[in-house]
Amino acid sequence: MSSKIKKLTGLKRKLEVKIDTDEYNSSYSAKLKKIRSTVKLDGFRKGSAPDNVLIQKYGPSIHYEILNELIQKTYPIELKAQNINPASAPKIDIKSEDPKKGISYNAEFEVFPEIKPKLGMFKKYEETTISFNDKDVDFAIDDILDRYGEWKEVKRNVKEHDQATIDFVGTIDGEEFEGSSSKNFPLVIGSNSMIPGFEEAIIGKKIGDEFSINVTFPEDYFKKDLAGKATKFETKLLKVEEKIKAKVDSALFSSLMMDEVKTPKEFRAEIVKRMEKEVEQQEKSLTKESIYKLILDVNKFDIPQATLDDQMKSMRNDALARMGQKLDDAPEDLYPEETFREDAEKRIKLDLLFSAFLKKYELEVSESEIQEYLEKESKKYKEPEQYMNWAKTQQNTLENFKMIILEDKLIEKLKSELKSSDKVIKFKDLSSLQK
């Protein structure tokens, strides 16, 4: 058996494989012998049918079965011999299937790029610091009281931040479309959960009002068949509710799992503590994003199309699942895969760069480091020991811990190799940065 590899365009490769006739013949003889011992043909005793009779009846099926087995057997062997790591399933083209002339086939596939990671001269990442003050704490507490409040029905016209319950039917050019209607639909005015202009049109209306809302779907709307189209929604207002904020009391503390908190002062202190923890996490995340952006800008390389296609498909499936949409029932224009191209490319390139930098710096994780991380995580739970015993049996969980530790190590190593500039942002601006 022999093989050679040919470079095609980009990351495409072709593996040309020739298989020894002896390997085919020995396999053919073995299968023929097995058939002879198991089948009974008219005119012959079991196990006594001659080769020519068996070959006439079973020869073609034996031949193609052997071809398939030989390809499945030799393909990974020759990949290893050529030191090739394919990124896609092969497209097999049998060039010769005549055992007298020799069996040969070609396999075309994509490979992962060979990356020699670099950091770039004079490049700086942003080391982010987040500041917050008493006003930010007041705002955070007010937001919590709002989120844990209750809706109370009111008999007045709709104002911003109210919850309006409505019936509506949407039409385009006089025709209803899929998902265009709903009954008893609760809508928080100002939530921006509907297309632009819809919620604003309800402000000032009173219970029982029937009215038309004329809006246009955004050009980048996720359903391509609706993007940019003018739409009319015939709407009826059924109910108006306003949010009554929660009180700072034991019921709220319990809802927030603040078992040790007893007073408003202790509540505020706990909120500050949680904000400090969030700030620490966000500073780390934003700094990491800056470093990743830098290495993506510096390291340019192609990625396998098959890998990109798989990633876009996976991201679309995740998006549909979050919507509660069954994959088989989802229309093609609902979050088309192409929508995720940019994010998919970024994720694949970061994964490849991550592996390349780990190899370059020879970074590894020890069992003691995983144990230390596990102990730290267990403190977040009411029963730390029970959590630790469970986590130790979960291979996926332990692997996730390992990758988190590796990422932290890599980020620290990259920071030591790079120059930085300071960036200070305010806590109140975090939400806009995360959009």
DSSP per-residue string spanning 377-419: HHTTSSSHHHHHHHHTT-HHHHHHHHHHHHHHHHHHHHHHHSE
Dihedral angle, C-alpha 143, 149, 152, 154, nearest 10 °: -20
CB distance 288 to 418 below 8 Å: no
Q: Is 82 left (phi over 0), alpha (psi -120 to 50) or beta?
A: alpha
Those residues whose C-beta lies under 8 Å from the C-beta of residue 146, and which sit 6 or more positions away, are 243, 245, 246
Cα separation, 352 vs 334, whole angstroms = 29
Q: What's the pLDDT at 333? A: 73
- Does an H or E element contain 159, and which? none
Task: For residue 162, give both structure tokens.
Answer: 């109210």
Q: What's the pLDDT at 4? A: 94
> What is the location of CATH 3.10.50.40 in the chain?
150-244
Q: Is the pLDDT of residue 258 over 60?
A: yes
Report pLDDT digits (tens) over 266-316: 999 999 999 999 999 999 999 999 999 999 999 999 999 999 999 999 999
Other CB atoms within a 10 A radius of the CB of residue 431 amount to: 8
Those residues whose C-beta lies under 8 Å from the C-beta of residue 394, and which sit 6 or more positions away, are none
pTM over 0.95: no
Task: For residue 22, give both structure tokens.
Answer: 């002896």
Q: Is the pLDDT of residue 157 over 80?
A: yes
Q: Domain 150-244 class?
A: alpha beta
- The chain-wide mean pLDDT, for the chain, equals 92
Dihedral angle, C-alpha 217, 220, 225, 231, nearest 10 °: 0
Look at residue 91 and give its three-state secondary structure.
strand
Q: Is the pLDDT of residue 396 over 70?
A: yes
Q: Which fold has domain 2-110?
A: Alpha-Beta Plaits (3.30.70)
Task: For residue 309, give both structure tokens.
Answer: 């296609």
Q: State the average pLDDT over residues 142-153.
A: 96
Q: Is 245 left (phi over 0), alpha (psi -120 to 50) or beta?
A: beta
Phi, psi of 87 (to 5 degrees): -105, -5
> What is the location of CATH 3.30.70.1050 in the chain?
2-110
Residue with tokens 């006594």: 48
CB distance 137 to 433 below 8 Å: no
Look at residue 14 and give its three-state secondary structure.
strand
Cα separation, 417 vs 80, whole angstroms = 35
Q: DSSP string covering 341-355, please?
A: HHHHHHHHHHHHHHH
Those residues whose C-beta lies under 8 Å from the C-beta of residue 156, and which sit 6 or more positions away, are 206, 240
Query: In the structure, what pLDDT confidence band is assigned to residue 120 with cuts at 50, 70 and 90?
Result: confident
Nearest to 14 by CA among 77, 75, 97: 75
Residue type, 224: K
Q: What's the pLDDT at 55? A: 86
Q: What's the pLDDT at 432? A: 54
Cα separation, 319 vs 312, whole angstroms = 11
pLDDT more than 70, % of the chain: 99
Q: Is the pLDDT of residue 435 over 50?
A: no
Q: How large is the angle between the packed helices 305-322 and 341-361, nearest 10 degrees?
A: 120
Q: CA Rg, the chain, in Å?
A: 32
Q: Is the pLDDT of residue 44 over 80?
A: no
